[in-house]
Amino acid sequence: MKRADNDMPFLLTYENVAWYENGKVRILDRRIYPTEISFVECTTHTEVAQAITDMVTQSAGPYTAAGMGMALAAYEAKGKSEAEQLAHLLQAAQTIGHARPTTANRMTQITMNCAEVGKAALAAGNDPVEAIFFTTLESLNRRYTVMDQVAEHLMTQVSPNSSVLTQCFGETIVGTFLRAARKKNYDLKIYCAETRPYLQGARLTASCAADLGFDTTVITDNMVAYAMENKGIDVFTSAADTIARDGHIANKIGTNQIALLAQHYEIPYFVTGIPDSDKFGKQDIIIEERDPKQVLEYRGIPNTLPNVKAIYPSFDITPPNRINGVVTDKGIYSPYDLATYFTKEETRFY
């Protein structure tokens, strides 16, 4: 299998996302990268699920971790009867698949497919661990290849000297878009909204852009209007954790307010990703509420007095009237016309 992670930044090399080997899954701890390069080592599939819940890996990283976690689940069940091994895989698929509620539909596609692959391997007398590991690699390779197509479509919306504002960490699309821009010798300026409270924009997206040699600037989340008014932002783009058929999208908290500012300053906003066939509208999107402690402190250091409260909705929903286009593997769609996406043959993604 030819790997699709060539010329990608450190964060997006397969082994540096999540990797199964010898009864363990190691996951790059994106909560502390690049201050420290450290991997969380999981010896059970429940530890993998907890790592996903705890945001050891974010964006599309959990999809890879989920597949590798299923390989680990198959390893855990070795030596049991075929029926017991299958039952263990199905239970693990639910545990890992629901580690984060907003993306459970996508995650369970991955974990249930792994369970089916394991079932087929058992029926054929083959090693389910190896089968699930290689199907996870194939899935990872497929996502990178599909996102290459998304990146090529996004490239049509930027000029060789564009200033591009991003939000949070869009995982694969960040790497494929920057890789495509580098191949075309585009001299982009990348502005990364810091993305509190975990600072994924500052720590992850900015690291990827800097790794590939782009002029990279971080702004705090409350500098967006200033940057749009004074720094010549040409395009705002983000990935999405959910893209509903009616054009509502869910992405990291703060995306909606940046989209609102972009609309005010007449800066186009392009969402990247694959629409969710099972999400028909805003009502189908679940917003994950995380521990508010993560807002009240950073890396264990409190920012407030003990009696201060906080909220931490992990995502917000941006309506279609603030989105100029949804950039997919099949082209750029109006957010009001996403039903058309499903009339064309779908490329398997997850």
Active site residue ranges? 241
Write the CB contacts of 306 (distance below 8 Å, at least 6 apart in sequence): none
Largest separation between any pair of C-alpha atoms in the chain: 66
Q: Assign residue 118 a region (left: φ > 0; alpha: ψ between -120 and 50; beta: otherwise).
A: alpha
Q: What angle do CA 244, 242, 320 make, to 5 degrees?
A: 50
Measured N-to-C along each axis, helices 82-97 and 61-76 cross at an angle, to the nearest 10 degrees, of 160
Backbone angles phi, psi at 11, to 5 degrees: -60, -25
Please say whether the beta carbons of 279 and 261 come within 8 A. Answer: no
Cite the DSSP H helix spans in the chain.
45-53, 61-76, 82-97, 104-123, 128-155, 172-183, 200, 206-211, 224-230, 255-264, 293-296
What's the distance, CA 124 to chain centroid? 34
Sign of CA dihedral 8, 58, 98, 278: negative
Give me Rg for the CA atoms of the chain.
Answer: 20
